[in-house]
Amino acid sequence: MKYLLVSDIHGSWPTLKKVLLHFDNMHCDILCILGDIINYGPRNGVPEGLNPKEIAEKLNAIADKIIAIRGNCDSEVDQMLLDFPIMQDYMLLVDEGHKMLLTHGHIYNKEHRPKGQFDAIIYGHTHLWELSCDAKGIVCNTGSITFPKGGNPPTFATYEHGAFTIFTLDGLPLKQINIKEK
């Protein structure tokens, strides 16, 4: 399976549209959305192309290909628009024997992990991409496609056969790391 990992869409249809094109062009099987899908939050400006209805419509059309996690800006009202569950704080994804914790990052992150052993923790929330390895496994922060911070470009990630890759929204790879390297 090939997974496209994205976080912090914050209601921007133009940026999500680019991600969905990458999802198709990269022949991904599952879209993992790591929170903050529709709402842009009180600390952000209004994103370019704010269009929650369009986002809901396009994501609902591929609901059978989506795994989603609740972000700190997601609510029950957002869930009412979407045809796939978004209200869990984390989930465990097992692929080819590799255990990966998917979360948003506001509760669990590289500094605060839940109990258990995982090959990787994958999250967003900080809007700063990171792909690294520490004593507990791989850390993959997908950054944000809408409001990147720290002078970073908008980013997302993919995962396939143990390899994580961070991409710019333009599709340029920034970094890759393999679970086997940890």
Rounded Cα distance between 77 and 147, Å, is 22
Rounded Cα distance between 55 and 171, Å, is 21
Rounded Cα distance between 33 and 124, Å, is 10
Please give the torsion angle defined by the CA atoms of residues 60, 154, 41 and 124, in that order, rounded to the nearest 10 degrees.
80
Q: What percent of the chain has pLDDT over 90?
A: 91
**What is the structure's pLDDT at 88?**
96
Task: Give CA separation, 129 vs 10, 53, 60, 83, in Å.
Answer: 16, 27, 27, 28
pLDDT, tens only, 62-84 = 999 999 999 999 999 999 999 99
**Residue whose C-alpha is closest to residue 181's, from 125, 148, 134, 121:** 134
Quote the domain boundaries for residue 59: 2-181
Nearest 5°: CA angle at 112, between 30 and 134? 75
Q: How confident is the model at residue 24 (pLDDT cuts 50, 70, 90)?
A: very high
Rounded Cα distance between 169 and 155, Å, is 5
Rounded Cα distance between 115 and 133, Å, is 18
Query: Within 10 Å of residue 105's Cβ, how many Cβ atoms?
Result: 26
Is-contact 120 102, C-beta < 8 A? Answer: no
Structural domains in the chain (count): 1
pLDDT, tens only, 114-155 = 999 999 999 999 999 999 999 999 999 999 999 999 999 999
CATH of the domain at 66: 3.60.21.10
